[in-house]
Structure formats: C-alpha cells, structure tokens
Structure 1
Amino acid sequence: MNSVNTQYFILIVPSCLFFIGLAFTFSRLIFRADIFLLWIGLAYTIPSIALFIQCLMTNPQLTIAAPFTAVLYLFGSWIGAYAISVKLNTPFKHLPALFLTVFAFIALAYFSYVNPQIWLRLIILNATLGLIGLISIPAVLKYLPTSQSFDRWILIFYLLNVSYSFCRALINFIFLDSIDRDHIILTSSTWWLLGMSVNIILNILFAIVISGGAVKDVIQRLNNERLHDPLTQLLNRRGFFEQSEKLPFNNQPYFLACLDLDHFKSVNDTWGHYIGDQVLQKVSRVMLQHKKPNDLIARFGGEEFICLIAAKDATEALSRIKQLKVRLEQATFTHHKIKMTASYGLTEIHDFHEIEQALQRADDLLYQAKQNGRNQISFDLVV
C-alpha cells in the first residue's frame, strides 16, 4: 500500500470514532437518553478531531501542532474519566486532571519547540492519558464486583482503555526511540498503523457495550414508568400485582392494608389540585419511610393506597399500621400546614392467588372504619 493510500486508510479510524461519538451525543440531546452518553460521546468526538488532523501531517508538522492536538486528546481522556464517574454516580477529582493536562502541555511544548523529540512526546502523551484515566479507577474497582451485565462490561472496557494508554507509552519507550534519528514518518509507520488498528477495535467494542447498556437503561426506564405511579413514584396497580407475585408467601407471613385519606376532597376543593398533589406526594414519602425491604407500597388511584407488609405475626402487623397511622397524624402537609388522617382496613394474605380476595376484604374493612368515624383501623386478625 503506497503512502497516499495508507494515509487515506488510517483516516477511517478517526472518522469512525467521530461518528460513534456523534451518535452518542445526539442520543442524549435528541432522545434524552442517559447524560452519561453525552459525556462519553464527547470523549469519542474530541480526540478523533486531533487524530484526524495528525493523520494528514508530516513529522515537522506534528512537532508544531503537538501541544495543541495533545490538549484535545487529554481533554477527551478527562471527559471520558468524568463520564465513568457520572455513570457510577461518584464525585470526580477535576484538580488532578487539570494539573496533569497543564504539566503535559508544558512538557510537550518543550519537546516540540525547545528540544524536538517525537519519541518523548509520544511517551509523555500516552502516559498522561493513562494517568488521567486512573482518576476514576478506584470507583471502577469498587463497583465492578457488584455491577451487572452491560454495566460490568463498560467498566471492564474502560479498564482496558486505560491500560492500553500505558501499553502504548511502554511500546513507544522500547521501540520508537529511532523515529527522530531515522527520519521515519510517524503516521506511515508500522507501529502507528498497528496502534490505530488496536485503537479502533477497542473503541468499537466499547461502543457496542455502551450501546447495549443504553438500550438496557431505556428498557428499564420504560418498565419503571409502566409499573409506577408518575405522581408519587409508588407502584401502580400493575406494578403491585407484578411485584407481589414474586414475594415468598410460603416463607413469610404477609398482611395487606388498604388506606384511604380522610376528607381529601376538601383539600382539593379548598386549595386546589396542585396542593392536593403535594399532599399525596408527602403521604407517599411518609409511607416509604415506614417501608421495610420486603414490603410493597402502591397507589391504586386517587387517595387510596395499598400496603403489603411482611410481619412475623398479626400483632406485629397491627403495630406497624398503628405506627404509620401516628406518623400521618403528626405530619403537616405543604406550607398551608394541612393535617391529614386516614382510615385503614387490615387483613392477612396467605398466597398470591388470593390477593384479589384479600384486597376485597381489606376494602370492606376500610369502609367499616370510615363508617365508624374515620381515622381508625379495622381488621379481621386474631391478635
């Protein structure tokens, strides 16, 4: 392959990286995907611009442009490390990244304009890229053992990319010290082509894994929206039935409580539906504070809520509902200082297949509590 064809060939790599990054960026901006995709898209796009420019340069031109193209590489590595921190929801240390970037820029400027040496510039750049990537490695190693499916592969490929930066620095140190002495055109050399090949393979595989993770996140989000009430974020009716089917009824006694807010219509009539929605949201938060790991809490509509609670016996179940009743009585809602109470119907449930009957029993008991004066618990338990 002659030098012109080689040059055109290696332009495929930055072009691919650029369009991959563009796709991720647009996924965030247009389809409102996870913000992680915006940062990882920029981490692909920005270095690809530098790589595209370098592929068209001779050694003297590389020397002149080195500090400035390096900034694009370093900024891309910085954004990539930050993207991983966003993915893991952990803080990122920007100060070390800034220090490394400034140090590398100064060193590259020295070995470009004062003592020109391509060999040392390659070592400094790749080592610094690896060091910036290392900033997120403690968080990656912490979350890697517990991460699932695509998320785990994203972390693994991030580790591979950081390791590859150090490998490139080592290869440059061992094999490329003759570049300046033998006047080899770097962008046409075997090592450059080999590096580009490994680079595109790693990045395309990384992009595939990220795409899979993004699809998984979208599916999870859609499923979450399907199973949860948009106002309170509690389970909706569909979510309640789907989740309750998974509970271990054979190993643990369960009790079902229906509760309905007393005189809630007067809240909407007096202060409006916006304030009524705020009341429902805070009621939900109070209930979630009372929730234990194996409990399910759902909003079935309006001001009606369902609690499916795990308890060792009827006495404990009744005690827990009494605690919830007290918490609601003591709470104040919105800046209007609204006080709310609720009426409760409590029954035991032995199996998922009797959940409809249990809901009917609890609803009848709830109606009984309202008939008896509201703000009380009616139950058919033996305590």
Structure 2
Amino acid sequence: MNSLNAQYFILIVPSCLFFIGLAFTCCRLFFKADIFLLWIGLAYTIPSIALFAQCLMSNPQLTLAAPFTSVLYLLGSWIGAYAISLKLNTTFQHRIAFLIFFSALIALTYYSYIAPQIWLRLVILNIALGSIGVLVFPDLFRQLSNSRSFDRWVFIFYFINVLYSFVRATINFFFLDNIDHNHIALTSSNWWLLGMSINIILNILFAIVLSGCAIKDVVYHLNNDRLHDPLTHLLNRRGFFEKTASLSFTSQSYFLVSLDLDHFKSINDTWGHYIGDQILYGVSQMMLKDKQAEDLIARFGGEEFICLFIAEDAAAALMRIEHYKTLLEQTTFTNYQIKMTASYGLTHIHNVHDIEYALQRADDLLYQAKTNGRNQISFDLML
C-alpha cells in the first residue's frame, strides 16, 4: 500500500467510527431508543476524534498531544464500560475508573514531557483502557449465560474489544520498543496499519451486533406496550389472553378472580382523575407485591382487575382472595390517606377453552357481590 493510499485508509477508520457513534447517539436522541445506545455512541465518537487527529501527526506532534488525546481515549473506554453496566443493569465502579484514569494520565504526561517514550505510552494507555473495561467483567460473566441472544453477543464482542486492548499493549511492549530510536513515523508504520485494520473490523462487527440488539429492544418494547396497560403496567386484555393461551391446565388447579373497586366513580368525582389514577396504580402495586410466580394479573379496563392463579384446592383459593380483601382494606392510597374496598367474583377454570366462560362467570359473581352490598367475595366453588 503506497503512502497516499495508507493515509486515506487510516483516516477512513476514525471517520467510520465517528459516524457509527453518531448514528447510535441519534437513535437515542430522536427515536427514544435505550439510553444504553447514547453512551455507546459517545464511546465511539469521542475516541474517534483523538484517533483522527493522531493519524495526521508526526512522532513529535504525537508526543506533544499525547496527554490530550489520551483523555479522549480514556473517556471513551470509561463511557463504554458504563454503557455496558447499564445494559447489565448493575452499578458501575466510577471511583476505580477515575483512579485508573488519573494514574494513567500522570504516567502518560511523564512519558510525554519528562522522559518521552512513544512505545511506553502506548503500553500504558492500552493497559489503562483494558483495565477500565475489565471493571464490568464480574457482572458480565455472572449474567452472560442467562442473557438473551443479542445481549449475549453484545457482551461477547465487548469482551473481545477489551481483550484486544491488552493484546495491543503486549504487541507494543515487545515490538515497538525501538520506534523512538529508529525514527519511524508511528502513524505510517505497518503496526499502525495492522492495528487500524483490526480496529475497524472489530468495531464494525460490534456495531452490527449493537444494531441488532437495538432493533430487538425496539420490537420488545413495542410488543410489551401492546400487551400491557400503560397506567398500571399490568397485562391488558390482549396480553392476558395471549399469556393464557400458552398455559397448561392438565396438572394444576387454576382459579380466576375478577375484582372491581367499590364506589370508584365517586373517587374521580370527588378527588379528580389524577388521584383516581394514583389509586389504580397503588392497587396494581399491591397486587404485584403479593404476586406468585405463576400468577397472571391484568387490568381489563376502568377499575376492574383480573387475577389468574394456582391453588391446591377451592378452600386455598378462597383463602387467597380473602387475603387480598384484607390487604386492600388495610391499605391507604395517596397523600389523602384514601381507603378502598372491592367486590370479588371467584371461580374455577377447568381448561384453556374455559377461559372466556370463566371470565363471564367471574363477572356475574362480581356483580352478585355488588348487589349483596359490596366489599364481598362471591364464588361458585365446591368447598
């Protein structure tokens, strides 16, 4: 590769990284994608600025600018590691990252202005970049086997990128220690071109995986919104029927309760819909806190909630709903300390085809409880 083509090539690499990062950042800013993408975008764009500038520098200029470009590289690594911690939903160790950042910057400044050594700066910088990335490894390995397919590939490629930092440090230590003595221009050396080639391949592959992950997340959120009530975050009617379609009713005793908050219209009329919404959300949280692993809880509209649950027998099912009833009676909602009661319709479900009929039976029993004076449980169980 002649010098002109090599110059074009090494400038293409940071340019590609910059625009990849910009695309990820825009996905967050304009399309409300996961916040993880914003930080990943910054982790691409910030180091690409330093890389672009370095590709145009001679060795003396690299030495003069080293502490400043290193700040951008280290920030990129820090932000990238933080982005992965967001994806893992864990706490990032910012203090340790700052200690690595500050220590590396002191060493890089020393080997730039006091005892200039290009190869040693490269070793220190790459070890620091890798060390910041390693901070998320314990959480990454802990969650790797349980993560979804695209998330798993994101973590794998991140691991490879961090590992590559240590590989670069090793190569620099063993093969570039004579670069200062031989007066070789670092940015036109074969090692630099090789590093650029590997860099662009790894980062483009990582970007492809990230794009797939982002698309998957968008589809997941859209599907989640389609199946859940936006106020309470419980299943909606569609979500309830989709979930029940996959249940097996052969080995378990399923029961269904329909509950409707008593006198809820008067709450809206007296306190307003905002307070009414707070109460609905509070009731949903109360039900979720008491939720068993197999329970399906849904809001069917207005102040009506549905719970499909497993119980050993009819007596255990009735006891479960009596517990619900007591829990609701003892709970106060909003800063106005509002008390609520509900009426309940409880029935047994025999098979998946019985769902709609069971809902109708529970609804009839619910209105029977309303007719009998509210704050009651009506059921058709054989105790």
What TM-score does the superposition give when structure 1 sets the normalisation length? 0.98
Identity %: 72
| Offset from partner CA, 1:34-79 (integer Å, 9 cap, x none) | 1111111000000000000010111111111111111111110011
Establish whether residue 372 from structure 1 lines up as the match of residue 369 from structure 2.
no
Identify the residue that residue 129 of structure 2 maps to in structure 1: 129
CA distance in 2, matches of 1:337, 1:122: 63
Identify the residue that residue 218 of structure 2 maps to in structure 1: 218
Q: Residue 260 of structure 1: CA displacement?
A: 0.9
Identify the residue that residue 286 of structure 1 maps to in structure 2: 286
CA distance in 2, matches of 1:306, 1:97: 48
Identify the residue that residue 48 of structure 2 maps to in structure 1: 48
Identify the residue that residue 15 of structure 1 maps to in structure 2: 15
Query: Does 11-20 or 264-273 show the bigger shift?
Result: 264-273
Identify the residue that residue 66 of structure 1 maps to in structure 2: 66
Establish whether residue 39 from structure 1 lines up as the match of residue 39 from structure 2.
yes
| Offset from partner CA, 1:99-155 (integer Å, 9 cap, x none) | 212221221122122221111111111111111111111111111121110111111
CA distance in 1, matches of 2:92, 2:324: 40
SS of the equivalent of 1:119 reads: helix
SS of the equivalent of 2:145 reads: helix
Maintained 8 Å contact 2:123/2:172: yes
Q: Residue 2 of structure 1: CA displacement?
A: 2.3
Report the AA paired with residue 299 of structure 2.
R
Query: Does 243-252 or 197-206 show the bigger shift?
Result: 243-252
SS of the equivalent of 1:382 reads: coil
Report the AA paired with residue 125 of structure 2.
L
CA distance in 2, matches of 1:364, 1:95: 60
Establish whether residue 86 from structure 1 lines up as the match of residue 86 from structure 2.
yes
Identify the residue that residue 187 of structure 1 maps to in structure 2: 187
What pairs up with 1:158-169 in 2 under 5 angstroms?
Answer: 158-169=158-169
Identify the residue that residue 26 of structure 2 maps to in structure 1: 26
Report the AA paired with residue 342 of structure 1.
A
Establish whether residue 250 from structure 1 lines up as the match of residue 250 from structure 2.
yes
CA distance in 2, matches of 1:93, 1:368: 58
Report the AA paired with residue 334 of structure 2.
T
SS of the equivalent of 2:24 reads: helix
Q: Residue 5 of structure 1: CA displacement?
A: 2.3
For structure 2, the 5+ residue unaligned runs are none
CA distance in 2, matches of 1:84, 1:30: 21
SS of the equivalent of 2:300 reads: strand
Establish whether residue 349 from structure 1 lines up as the match of residue 355 from structure 2.
no
Query: Does 1-10 or 76-85 show the bigger shift?
Result: 1-10
Q: Residue 327 of structure 1: CA displacement?
A: 0.6
Maintained 8 Å contact 2:248/2:352: no
Identify the residue that residue 119 of structure 1 maps to in structure 2: 119
Identify the residue that residue 327 of structure 1 maps to in structure 2: 327
Q: Residue 353 of structure 1: CA displacement?
A: 1.1
Maintained 8 Å contact 2:18/2:44: yes
Equivalent residue pairs, number: 383
Establish whether residue 361 from structure 1 lines up as the match of residue 358 from structure 2.
no
Maintained 8 Å contact 2:259/2:345: yes
| Offset from partner CA, 1:246-281 (integer Å, 9 cap, x none) | 122112110011111111111111111111111111
SS of the equivalent of 1:325 reads: helix
Moved over 3 A (4+): none
SS of the equivalent of 1:234 reads: coil
Q: Residue 93 of structure 1: CA displacement?
A: 1.2
Q: Residue 333 of structure 1: CA displacement?
A: 1.6
SS of the equivalent of 2:29 reads: helix
SS of the equivalent of 2:116 reads: coil
Report the AA paired with residue 224 of structure 1.
N
Task: Provide the aligned C-alpha RMSD in A.
Answer: 1.0
For structure 1, the 5+ residue unaligned runs are none
SS of the equivalent of 1:11 reads: helix
What pairs up with 1:162-177 in 2 under 5 angstroms?
Answer: 162-177=162-177
Report the AA paired with residue 162 of structure 1.
V
Q: Residue 348 of structure 1: CA displacement?
A: 0.5
Establish whether residue 108 from structure 1 lines up as the match of residue 108 from structure 2.
yes
Report the AA paired with residue 334 of structure 1.
T
CA distance in 2, matches of 1:184, 1:76: 28
Q: Residue 349 of structure 1: CA displacement?
A: 0.5
What TM-score does the superposition give when structure 2 sets the normalisation length? 0.98
SS of the equivalent of 2:374 reads: coil
Identify the residue that residue 273 of structure 2 maps to in structure 1: 273
CA distance in 2, matches of 1:119, 1:111: 10
SS of the equivalent of 1:374 reads: coil
